[in-house]
Amino acid sequence: MKKLFLCTTLLTALSACSTQEKAPIQDETEITPTFINEYPTRDRVDYVLNCVAQHGGLTYITQYACGCKIDKIAEKLSFTEFEAATTFGFMRKTPGESGGVFRDPKESKSLRQRLKEADAYAERMCFVK
């Protein structure tokens, strides 16, 4: 009997909430997005784990600094640019003509340079030396 009363009360409260009049939406031009996190969590975690390994292992300091670092890189590059730059970086080491597709295009060089600059900026901002 107690469960039935609780369920009935809950349903009544929920139905009352749905019938309440909602406040009018403000003009959409006034609404501005704050920060759009377009980097997938999986890619952020992968970056942080690789960064931690490169900086001497898992400690609070390296974990925090590496998380900061990917956030700073995200300020400079969209995820699409970041992904393309890292792909060009990995694949440019492919020997012969096959690797030339990744080494030679202007876009490849430009994106790798931008990633290098973003990485240096993030390193300066996040790691206290």
Taking the chain (129 residues) in runs of 10, the rounded mean pLDDT of each run is 40 41 51 64 95 92 94 95 93 84 86 95 86
User: Would you say residue 75 lies in a domain?
Assistant: yes
Question: Does any domain span residue 31?
Answer: no
- Cα–Cα distance for residue pair 59/51, rounded to 1 Å: 12
The span from the CA of 87 to the CA of 93, in Å, is 11
Residue 13 lies in a domain: no
- In the three-class reduction of DSSP (H, G, I as helix; E, B as strand; rest coil), residue 105 is classed as coil
CB 126 within 8 A of CB 76: no
Residue 16 has a pLDDT of 41
Could you tell me if residue 123 is inside a domain? yes
Position 73 in a domain = yes
**pLDDT of amino acid 22:** 47
| Token pair for 2 | 């107690």
Rg (CA), the chain: 24
124 within a domain of the structure (yes/no)? yes
pLDDT value at position 7? 39
Is residue 81 a part of any domain in this protein? yes
85 near 114, Cβ under 8 Å? yes
Count of domains in the chain?
1
- Show the domain range for 107: 39-129
Q: Are 115 and 70 in contact (CB under 8 A)?
A: no
pLDDT at residue 14, as a whole number: 39
Q: Is residue 17 part of a domain?
A: no
Distances (CA, A) of 42 to 38, 68, 100, 122: 12, 16, 29, 20
